[in-house]
Amino acid sequence: MKKIILSIVAVSALMFTSCSDDNDTPPTPPNNSTKIEDVLNYEYIKEAGLEVKVSEEAKVDFIKWNADAEKVKGITTKAEAGKAGFLSRMKDGKKYNLNETGVEVKQLISKGSIGGFQLYNYNEVVKGVKEAKTDADRKVAIEKIQKILLGVGTTKETSKDDFNAKGNSFGKYMVGTKNNVKVFDLIEEAKANVADKTKYNEALTKLTAVANKVVGLRAVHYLVLYTDKIIKDTEKKDLAKNIHELSEGLGFAYSLQFAHQGEGKFYLTAKEAKEIVSANLWRKEDLIKLKAKGEEIAKKFGEEFLAEATKE
């Protein structure tokens, strides 16, 4: 089974292609392991020479979801309200394993680790940069940031895939910005200015904003559009696909508790993130609340964000 590479963000074109048509199968959690390196995409982490480091809260969540994913993957009966099982996609019969609340739990792991592992470690490095006293310290920091966000590559050609999950068409997570700035270019900008602390920090500030925006766009996109799709699909023809997409949105939204707004603030609190991933997707009232939360998140990113995020 393919493992996804969770690498953060290339920004150049607005391409909100549906995940349901791609090979976006997350890593298969092995045998109820309680080792965080078993739960996350350890091959990516090890290849990039990174430490498996997540927040203590995220570690608890990832290990729990790991156990839940293991529990539901062998169930051979159809999922329904209050009962774990699978749903098959109308298009091709592809099956998605859901827990009793209708969530595809392995999507919480794969998309949640974009925040819980990547953004968390990115923020830790950026905090350390503020205390960097030499050019060498800044050089080491930006090289580590590149590994966290893009894998081991040191050029555009060798960087893993700019936040594009392995096996998916290029550009799946690419999003438009007014300045059309790419993450790799911002990393290069910081590298070129290790001797100029002001310009170096300016590049990091722009990089943080871009990374946060990508995660925010995906969260809002799924929370707003796919709650509506589930509610309106009264014959449940596309229920499997829509729940799959919305489950991804829950994972992206969970990641926003690690998206740093500045001044000690994040786009979501840990409590808000936990409430989102605890939603029962069989309940219409929970779907309505998720849509409202998506719209609320969009406002934090600016006036035009909701319109941008909900383009199909």
Query: What are the extents of the domains in the chain?
Result: 19-309
Token pair of 154 as six digits: 């040191």
- The residue-averaged pLDDT of 55-82 equals 94
Residue 97 has phi, psi (to 5 degrees) of -90, 125
Q: Grade residue 272 by pLDDT with cuts at 50, 70 and 90.
A: very high
Q: Grade residue 29 by pLDDT with cuts at 50, 70 and 90.
A: low
CA angle at 183 for the pair 224 and 62, rounded to the nearest 5°: 55
The pLDDT, as a whole number, for residue 231 is 97
**For residue 262, what are the β-bridge partners?**
265
**Residue 210 pLDDT greater than 90, yes or no:** no
Token pair of 122 as six digits: 């990115």
Q: How far is CA 120 from CA 169, 220, 272, in A?
A: 27, 20, 17
Q: Grade residue 10 by pLDDT with cuts at 50, 70 and 90.
A: very low
User: What span, in angstroms and rounded, lies between the C-alpha atoms of 302 and 84?
Assistant: 38
The pLDDT, as a whole number, for residue 34 is 79
**Residue 282 pLDDT greater than 90, yes or no:** yes
Instruction: Give the count of beta carbons closer than 10 Å to the beta carbon of residue 21.
Output: 15
- The residue-averaged pLDDT of 219-226 equals 96
User: What span, in angstroms and rounded, lies between the C-alpha atoms of 275 and 113?
Assistant: 17
- The residue-averaged pLDDT of 256-269 equals 92
| 16-25 pLDDT, tens digit each | 233 444 445 5
- The residue-averaged pLDDT of 73-96 equals 94
- The residue-averaged pLDDT of 200-228 equals 93
Residue 262 has phi, psi (to 5 degrees) of 100, 160
Pairing of strands 265-266, 95-98: unpaired
Q: How far is CA 133 from CA 89, 97, 130, 240, 247, in A?
A: 55, 50, 8, 53, 43
Q: Alpha helices of the chain — where are they, by DSSP H?
A: 36-39, 42-47, 56-72, 105-113, 120-129, 135-150, 183-192, 197-232, 239-255, 270-277, 284-301, 305-309
Token pair 């290790």: residue: 194
- Residue 20, by phi and psi: left (phi above 0), alpha (psi -120 to 50) or beta? alpha
- The residue-averaged pLDDT of 209-224 equals 91
- The residue-averaged pLDDT of 270-299 equals 98
Token pair 């739990």: residue: 105
Average per-residue pLDDT in the chain? Answer: 83
The pLDDT, as a whole number, for residue 60 is 94
The pLDDT, as a whole number, for residue 279 is 98
The pLDDT, as a whole number, for residue 23 is 47
- What's the N-to-C CA distance of the chain in angstroms? 29
Instruction: Give the count of beta carbons closer than 10 Å to the beta carbon of residue 212.
Output: 24
Token pair of 295 as six digits: 């719209």
Highest mean pLDDT among 146-155, 168-177, 276-285: 276-285
**For residue 96, what are the β-bridge partners?**
87
More reliable by pLDDT, 133 or 267 = 267
